[in-house]
Copies of this chain bind each other. A is one copy, B any other.
Amino acid sequence: MIIQLEQNITDSVKESIIEQVKSLNYKPTEVVTQIGKYIIGIGKDEFDIRQIGSLEGINDIHIVSDSYQLVSKKWKVSDTQIDLGDGVTIGADSFAMMAGPCSIEGEENIYKTIAHLKENGINIMRGGVYKPRSSPYSFRGMGIEGLKIWYKAARENGIKIVTEVMQVSQIEEMYDYVDIFQVGARNTQNFNLLDELGKVDKAVMIKRGISGTIDELLHSAEYVFSGGNERLLLCERGIRTYEKASRNTFDINAIPILKDKTHLPVISDPSHGIGIRDHVDPVALASIIAGADGVIFEIHDKPEEAYSDGQQTLDFDESAKLVKKIRSVLQLRESF
């Protein structure tokens, strides 16, 4: 159950609610986010909702049968919108486009990419400065210095930044230069990282695990939300299956299922989802007609020279064409 408390509730009133929750054989957890105050009760027994609902200090109470609670649409039925400031919003009626290179490679690449984004009306740039690599001998990213250069260029041009954070100790140093902290597919269940991101007042986008279930993704979001941060995005990026004709198997089913289960915005990553440059376009469009709230894809002025992921990266011509198609598909979707 989710109990929404009054903002100015006193400690003694809160304690009596907690006692009442315990008496129903539910385990209470207090949650204070940047937006609201809640008590989450975990249990299985049936009870009469009026026993709690009529108590002092309570705004509202919801029975949520899912094991995740605060991210469930059974509680909050309207779609959540994330506000990045400067008029950039994601979710509800705001569709998000995020594009950029796999790795941030240097000033020239940054400025060329930003110019392309502005020409095409994209206002969020992706790029990695800390790169998770399976081999320790591979390029691991430009690090914080790369982020600072990128940030300067982005702010000059009104562009927001989404980039991966790999560990707790990076949060603080990255904080000033990031608009959306991305949790990568290898860290979806790095629970300490999720806990810490719950304390941050910036948006967090959680990628589905490499072979994560939809349910696990929602539980990972519950970590951040119950840690205090409601500004959350979820991202489908393909799962690992036996099929090796594509890098991953983009789980198109996950789009409507997530939209049905949660009020959080759902972003699709067709670049990793299929991993083949020529086919990023159909997967992107498919995810949008299926209901995605945004799309993140890899672009580079010279994909064949990119430091990483060149095989799934669009050049600027391809990107411009895709953006046009995305706008047409969105327009059609809105007409349904």
Contacts and interface: CB of A to CB of B under 8 A. Distances in A.
Contact of A191 (B166, B195, B287, B325): B166
A166 B192 contact: yes
A244 B216 CA distance: 12
Contacts of A136: 29, 191, 195, 219, 222-223, 226-227
Nearest to A40: B137
Interface string A219-233: 110110011000000
Dominant SS among interface residues on chain A: mixed
A296 interface: no
A142 B79 CA distance: 38
Contacts of A278: 256, 260
Nearest to A213: B243
Given A260-B279, A286-B286, A240 B253 contact: no
Interface stretch (A127-135, A155-163, A301-309): A127-135
A220 B134 CA distance: 7
Nearest to A222: B136
A281 to B, nearest CB: 8
A210 B285 CA distance: 26
Range class of the A interface residue count:
35 or more
Best-buried of A168, A186, A260 by chain B (most CB within 10 Å) = A186
Interface in A34-74: 40, 42, 67-69
A190 B245 CA distance: 22
A285 to B, nearest CB: 5
A167 interface: yes
Contact of A250 (B135, B246, B253, B282): B253
A283 B252 contact: yes
Contact of A213 (B191, B219, B242): B242
Q: Please give the count of copies of this chain that the complex contains.
A: 4
Nearest to A140: B191
A182 interface: no
A246 B244 CA distance: 14
B27 A137 contact: yes
A278 B241 CA distance: 25
A223 B291 CA distance: 38
A189 B186 contact: yes
Residue with the highest number of chain B CB atoms closer than 10 Å, among A191, A213, A257: A191
26 contacts: A29-B137, A67-B135, A69-B137, A133-B191, A134-B215, A134-B216, A136-B222, A137-B226, A166-B190, A167-B168, A167-B192, A168-B168, A210-B211, A213-B245, A240-B242, A241-B241, A241-B242, A241-B249, A245-B253, A245-B257, A246-B257, A249-B249, A252-B283, A253-B274, A283-B290, A328-B332
The 4 closest A-B pairs by CB, nearest first: A211-B211, A286-B286, A282-B290, A252-B252
Interface of A: 27, 29, 40, 42, 67-69, 132-137, 166-169, 186-187, 189-193, 195, 209-211, 213-216, 219-220, 222-223, 226-227, 239-246, 249-257, 260, 273-274, 276, 278-279, 282-283, 285-287, 289-291, 325, 328-329, 332, 335-336
Given A260-B278, A286-B287, 8 more contacts: A166-B190, A186-B189, A210-B211, A213-B242, A213-B244, A245-B253, A286-B286, A289-B329
